[in-house]
Amino acid sequence: MHFKQKMKIVAGYPTFVWLDSINAIYGGARNAGLLGLTAHLNNALAQQKPNTPITVGLVIYDIPGRDCHALASNGELPLTQAGLTRYKQQYIDVIAGIIADPKYKNIRIVNVIEPDSLPNLVTNLSTPRCAQAQSTGIYEEGIKYAVDKLHAIPNTYNYLDIAHSGWLGWKNNMTAAISLYTQVFQSTAAGLASVDGFVSNTANVTPLTEPNLPNPDLTVGGQPIKSSKFYQWNPNFDESHYAEALYNGFVAAGWRNSIGFIIDTSRNGWGGHNRPTSASGNDIDTYVNSGRIDRRDHRGNWCNQSATGIGTPPTAAPGGHLHAYAFVKQPGVSDGSSKFIKNNQGKGFDRMCDPTYTTPDGVLSDALPNAPISGAWFHDQFVMLVKNAYPAIGSAASVSEQP
């Protein structure tokens, strides 16, 4: 298949709409010429076939003091009470008002709520801005407000961002996350019923499965492979095992049995000629490094990662407690600039997006060069993602089964 045809196939996959600013709600000249929320919903109505459900995915992503532990995607609203008031009145209320319009009542609207926000309150309180987000209660209050307003609309479904296995996969982190989420959402108007599930791997690249490393307790050279340098005693090597562990933990904490998971598979395919097909070696690091399809130098590397590929296409109800595989992040949209680029969107420069940067873990960032600011189109990345797609674009396994 010609490469141009592969790119056209990818262009036909459904992706989520990122409402990452107040202007993004309105679209047009206020938002780099992109469609606004009303236009997206009207397009969905035009595409809907008779007696057939259609789903629109939205990413709610403008919490005050957004991305408190990173710099590439910090947002427009300050981490203050004034910022929180604007978030409620000029952002959430406007979104809720649009999607509550009766003409959209037959569209299933799936909301991904504030990526990275609550996970940062689990692990990154040593960062001053994250500590402030916790101490002021602004993150929690803003997110609860969003969930309450959106849950009140009958055709909406709320999914909370739950980071990824390389972030919250350790038992201590997972236990703390389940405790925090339970505490926060028990106090919403509908309690835990205000949440339909969780989204993992949002805008990340952690594999759906690690086919050559199915058992983290496998011993090589007398040591379990989860103790390798790459996994650092984290028993959750991939998003499928992570979602299963989280499901069991949340249900044990009192959440409904019907909760489920959406996994972002937009960039976690890890295909291409260098994809390993087996693992071998007499010591754990050699064994793990030979077999893992995740080719990053460190699981904490996140910005415009090299060697990544498009993953499993959007699929409804793939099995178990998984509600869907989805392209929450649009393939080809930048995570952040590889150097500081002056802009009027408040986007900073994070060294994790600099391909020459050596991280605190002593490895390179794995970031691609020549990247634009976060949210901008990055053509070189898109080409790479299509080339490294797994399953390969155009194969039978790459056919999308849309919800």
Is 329 annotated to bind a ligand? Reply is yes
Per the structure block, which two tokens stand in for 371? 């990247």
Is 270 annotated to bind a ligand? Reply is no
Is 18 annotated to bind a ligand? Reply is yes
Round to whole Å and give the CA distance between 14 and 61. 19
Helix (H) or strand (E) holding 65: none
Instruction: Exactly one of 335, 350, 354, 366 is catalytic; name it.
Output: 335
User: Is 350 designated active site?
Assistant: no
Cα–Cα nearest to 119, from 146, 141, 139: 139
**Helix runs in 136-238, H state only:** 138-151, 165-168, 171-186
Q: List, in order, residues 6 or more apart from 137 with CB less than 8 Å away.
A: none
* E strands present in 33-117: 54-60, 107-113
Helix (H, G, I), strand (E, B) or coil at 76: coil
Is 302 annotated to bind a ligand? Reply is yes
Torsion 385-391-394-399 (CA) sign? negative
User: Is 116 designated active site?
Assistant: yes
**DSSP notation for 303-322:** SSBTT----SPPEEEEETTE
Edge-first strand listing for the sheet containing 107-113: 17-19, 54-60, 107-113, 156-161, 197-200, 260-264, 322-326, 315-319
Contact indicator for 313, 359 with CB cutoff of 8 Å: no
Q: List, in order, residues 6 or more apart from 101 with CB less than 8 Å away.
A: 41
Is 167 annotated to bind a ligand? Reply is yes
Give the residues across from 118 on adjacent strands: none
Instruction: Exactly one of 116, 161, 294, 350 is catalytic; name it.
Output: 116
Chain length of the chain:
403
Peptide bond into 369 cis (omega under 30): no
Helix (H) or strand (E) holding 300: none
The catalytic residues are 116, 335
Sequence ranges of the binding site for substrate: 18, 20, 164, 167, 204, 302, 329
Sequence ranges of the binding site: 18, 20, 164, 167, 204, 302, 329
